[in-house]
Amino acid sequence: MNISIIGAATTKFGELWTSSPRELAKEAFNSALAQSGISSSKVEALYVGNMLGGLLGHQENIGSFYAEELGLSPVPAFRLEAACASGGVALHNAINSIKAGLYTTVAVLGIEKMTDAGGDLVASALMAAGSDEERGSGITFPGLYALMAQAYMSEYKYKEEDLAEVAVKNHFHGSYNQKAQFKFKVTVADVMKSSRIADPLKLLDCSPVTDGGACVIISSDPKIISKNSVSIVASEVGTDTLALHKRASFTSLNAAKDAGRRAYARAGLRPVDVDVAEVHDCFSIAELIAVEDLGFSETGKGASDLKKGKFTRGKGKTIVNPSGGLKACGHPVGATGVKQAVEIFEQLMGTAGEKQSVTDAKIGLAHNVGGSGAIATVHIFKKNNF
Amino acid sequence: MITTPVKLWRRGKKLVNHIGVKGELLYWTIVRVPPKNFADQAPYPVGIVRLGTGEMMVGQLVDWTEKDLKSGMRVVAVMRRITHEDKENIIPYGIKFKPL
């Protein structure tokens, strides 16, 4: 069965105090729908990726909330929550519903409103993705990834400057993205002198708190999949312990590794076949672990490959995070997984505008992680060419 | 962190088993931007500790100095206050680690 993206869009990402989550959802959905060329009456179900609607907005029952707002009621609507992988998990479930033969065309919305609340409240709310013991220790998500950074640096002999290179690359990519939260470039020195958040991670090693929405319309209907579209050839999810300290490795995420392995097998592809990827760089260290878990780099070589330009537009073979990633484009947690699919769609279609980082690319990949690696999704996309 | 008296009572029964158990600090970070209810303690180190029993734990370090922050540092599990009492006047306690 060919399941393809027929429309894809995001809102601007950033500190959007003048926009409500309803408005962001509507903007993303209406743009994606207009692009698909179908009418909303063809949308048979809605899958929503959202993490913090309850904790920060005191709004649960989110499937119905957005179905109503988008004018889709009475279609079935579901909210999928998997921390920062909510978007990827929503996409996975939408795909499964089509594969099950229940629907042919569905909408996947990723949405998060984070900046209305204060920083300490957001940090606490995000810790809902961790374990009870982690919450009791007073650790934060930057803190958990800082522990991984320390393990990675000590195991493979890297310095803080090597981590900083991730932020330098992703801000460079983000500088081409009109919808990115941050369009400025940074240097290693800028990262090194930014304020310490959780040693060894500094402010510029961390993705920001962001508002934003993203939407993809997917379909298996051959009559509406145009010749020029993008097919989803693999959608896999892996899980692991909620708590970081219970895992066998602190320098690799087994949930992502396992989902990746299954996705490659399902698609009949290898890491070397991937032209462009959006990976979950919530912190600089996370991108280094991601490129190793996905097989773009050998174990322990992620940081040195990145420094050599292997993942940078204009230089590398596999371009990683052409949108600027979570780091520069922004990280509205439940929207991120869907935004990654939108970005890969645009890169493969050649419609990414200034941020277009690959030419005639055939294969793209999206890697979305929840918690400190308790859940991960890997999607592989292929340019349709009937 | 959201606590309720009943939840604290359930957790407390398990926590006491760890008091006095020795272990080794593997990795640590210093949390400088804390979550809600931890502001008065920041900055504070949090580490991953391997206990002598083989069990892995995560916890704050107490009574520490800069020189204690190294891989392989011996620590002992102690019972300490986690945050301030809530509006029901229950003080949450938990395990923290003290350098030896």
Q: Is A84 a catalytic residue?
A: yes
pLDDT in tens, A176-192: 999 999 999 999 999 99
pLDDT at B87: 76
pLDDT at B91: 87
Residue A171 has pLDDT above 60, yes or no: yes
Q: Which residues have C-beta within 8 Å of that of residue A265, sequence separation ≥ 6? A: none
| Phi and psi based region of residue B14 (left: phi greater than 0; alpha: psi -120 to 50; beta: remaining) | alpha
Residue A372 in tokens: 């400190």
- As a whole number of angstroms, the distance between CA A38 and CA A380 comes to 24
Which positions in chain B touch A150 (Cβ < 8 Å)? 27-29
Which positions in chain A touch B27 (Cβ < 8 Å)? 147, 150-151, 154, 250
Instruction: Calculate mean pLDDT across residues A76-99.
Output: 98
Q: Out of A120, A146, A196, whose CB is closest to B36?
A: A120
Instruction: Calculate mean pLDDT across residues A29-38.
Output: 97
Contact: A127, B35; criterion CB under 8 Å: yes
Q: Which residues have C-beta within 8 Å of that of residue B56, sequence separation ≥ 6? A: A245, A246, B48, B49, B50
The rounded mean pLDDT for chain B is: 92
pLDDT at B2: 61
Min Cα–Cα distance to chain B from A209, Å: 14
Q: Out of A121, A123, A244, whose CB is closest to B33?
A: A123
Residue B21 has pLDDT above 60, yes or no: yes
Instruction: Locate the chain A residue with the closest alpha carbon to B96.
Output: A137
Question: Between A160-174 and A141-156, two packed helices, what is the crossing angle to 10 degrees?
Answer: 120
Classify A144 as helix, strand or coil.
helix
Q: Give which of B33, B50, B80, B82 to mutate to test A binding, by max A Cβ within 10 Å.
A: B33
Model confidence at B12, in pLDDT bands (50, 70, 90)?
A: confident
Q: Is A206 a catalytic residue?
A: no
The rounded mean pLDDT for chain A is: 97
Instruction: Locate the chain B residue with the closest alpha carbon to A251.
Output: B27
What share of chain A has pLDDT > 70, as a percent?
100
Comparison of pLDDT for A358 and B92, the residue scoring more: A358
Contact: A197, B38; criterion CB under 8 Å: no
Model confidence at A386, in pLDDT bands (50, 70, 90)?
A: low
Contact: B27, A150; criterion CB under 8 Å: yes
CA A39 to chain centre: 27
pLDDT in tens, B26-74: 999 999 999 988 999 999 999 999 999 999 999 999 999 999 999 999 9
Residue B88 has pLDDT above 80, yes or no: no
The half-sphere exposure of A90 on its side-chain side, counting CA atoms within 13 A, is 39
pLDDT in tens, A183-240: 999 999 999 999 999 999 999 999 999 999 999 999 999 999 987 799 999 999 999 9
Instruction: Locate the chain B residue with the closest alpha carbon to A200.
Output: B29
What share of chain A has pLDDT > 90, as a percent?
97
Residue A169 in tokens: 């690359």
Eight-class DSSP state of A250: S
- As a whole number of angstroms, the distance between CA B64 and CA B43 comes to 12
- As a whole number of angstroms, the distance between CA B64 and CA A369 comes to 34
Residue A34 has pLDDT above 80, yes or no: yes
- As a whole number of angstroms, the distance between CA A86 and CA A122 comes to 17
pLDDT at B8: 82
Min Cα–Cα distance to chain B from A64, Å: 27
- As a whole number of angstroms, the distance between CA B44 and CA B60 comes to 7
- As a whole number of angstroms, the distance between CA A293 and CA A299 comes to 8
Residue B1 has pLDDT above 60, yes or no: no
Determine which one of A171, A331, A367, A379 is catalytic.
A331
Q: Give which of A131, A135, A139, A206 to mutate to test B binding, by max B Cβ within 10 Å.
A: A139
- As a whole number of angstroms, the distance between CA A186 and CA A49 comes to 31
Model confidence at A166, in pLDDT bands (50, 70, 90)?
A: very high
- As a whole number of angstroms, the distance between CA A47 and CA A92 comes to 10
CA A154 to chain centre: 28
pTM to 2 decimal places: 0.97
- As a whole number of angstroms, the distance between CA A177 and CA A204 comes to 18
- As a whole number of angstroms, the distance between CA A152 and CA A147 comes to 9
pLDDT in tens, A253-286: 999 999 999 999 999 999 999 999 999 999 999 9
Element housing A198 (H / E): strand A196-198
Contact: B39, A120; criterion CB under 8 Å: yes
Chain A: which residues have CB within 8 Å of chain B? 119-121, 123-124, 127, 132-140, 142-143, 146-147, 150-151, 154, 195-201, 243-246, 250
The answer to whether A164 and A191 are in contact (CB under 8 A) is yes
Instruction: Locate the chain B residue with the closest alpha carbon to A243.
Output: B58
- As a whole number of angstroms, the distance between CA A110 and CA A106 comes to 13
Q: Please report the number of interchain residue pairs, chain A to chain B, with beta-carbon separation below 8 angstroms.
A: 95
Tell me the three-class secondary structure of A54-108, residue by residue. HHHHCCCCHHHHHHHHCCCCCCCEEEECECECHHHHHHHHHHHHHHCCCCCEEEE
- As a whole number of angstroms, the distance between CA B49 and CA A185 comes to 38
